[in-house]
Amino acid sequence: MPSPTRSHLQALAHLAERLVDEYGVRLVRLRLAPAGTRAHLDVVWQGLALSTETVTSWETDAMRSGASSSALSVRDVIERHDGEIWFQRERARHESFFRMLLPIAEASTALSGANAPSAAMADTPASRPEYYDFDLFRDTGSARALADRALAELTCTVFDTETTGLDPGGGDRIVQIGAARIVAGKLRRHECFERLVDPQRAVSAASLAIHGIDAARLSGQPHAAQVLPIFHAFARDSVLVGHNAAFDLRFLREAEAEAGVVFDQPVLDTLLLSAYVHPRQESHSLEAIAARLGVAISGRHSALGDALVAAEIFLKLIPLLEARGIRTLRQALEAAQQTWHARLRY
């Protein structure tokens, strides 16, 4: 893994904010892949290609992100860490990205002891990429009504999806939705939601290897237009909670028009809340957070299994947030936006 610094994170935020502010890009994805003795870290978006002049300007201008700024440019940061950066476009996938080639951290910098992933976790298939949805913190009527409610008093629907692939804008769709209910700080395991969904398209080999939901299991299942209204009713009058929630929300929102529903509840993300509580930790994957907080993992990469793990994590995070003065929904949403993992002003 690359060894990220605050300047690396500021470089990512600088590039992503310019995409949003200057070109109206609504979804930015980070992608990490090995490249020999180094690693590729990509800032990816759909569609828009940048001119050579724009690319050069963004790489060499002094960085800014929200109210913070730096005398360094993105190129300065990358070169000071013995890396490289360039712009690339994949026309077949209608995808553009900045690619950073970075050195991989030495083994001595890896987590050790209680914070190290277990051998079982090391064998877990790769997690989905982190997504950033710039409507995640939008101010809705239900958010305002619940803003001053204590986190421990909220009714929450903790949910997760499994999908045909990782590209909702490119046609990937939901194959399973799972959710669990939290009421007044208690996980109600008997109040769960789990449905398979016929995506009306093939499941990619990469996704099949992760969740194992094949065409035979999906044959004859209801379509999203039938399942989403049922899930919408299950989640009514609650706060949605997810891990890397923007990923799952994007898939829900792709199907809203067809299903005739709108998911306008406030949303809390355990990834962002973990980043606020433990800002110095390198990883905020579901597995890493579960290990830190002592949450047992079972049923990984099933929608309900992951939702139950996320629910246990959320309940463990509440007292940690309270210890830092974060007691209400409003404060939790504001805290999440302060993290570098939120990347952007929403």
Active site residues per annotation: 301
Whole-number Å distance between alpha carbons of 91 and 155: 45
CB contact at 8 A, 164 and 207: yes
Sequence-ordered alpha helix ranges (H) in the chain: 6-23, 52-60, 74-80, 119-122, 141-146, 205-211, 215-218, 224-234, 245-259, 270-277, 286-293, 303-323, 329-338
Whole-number Å distance between alpha carbons of 85 and 24: 23
Residue with tokens 């201008």: 61
Which residues have C-beta within 8 Å of that of residue 123, sequence separation ≥ 6?
none
Whole-number Å distance between alpha carbons of 49 and 97: 9
Closest CA to 153 of 274, 238, 73, 65: 238
- The CB density around residue 134, as the number of other CB atoms within 10 Å, is 18
Name the percent of the chain in helix, strand, coil, to the closest 5.
40, 25, 30
| Tokens representing residue 119 in the block | 């051998």
CB contact at 8 A, 185 and 315: yes
Strand 239-242 and strand 186-196: the pairing is unpaired
Whole-number Å distance between alpha carbons of 176 and 304: 9
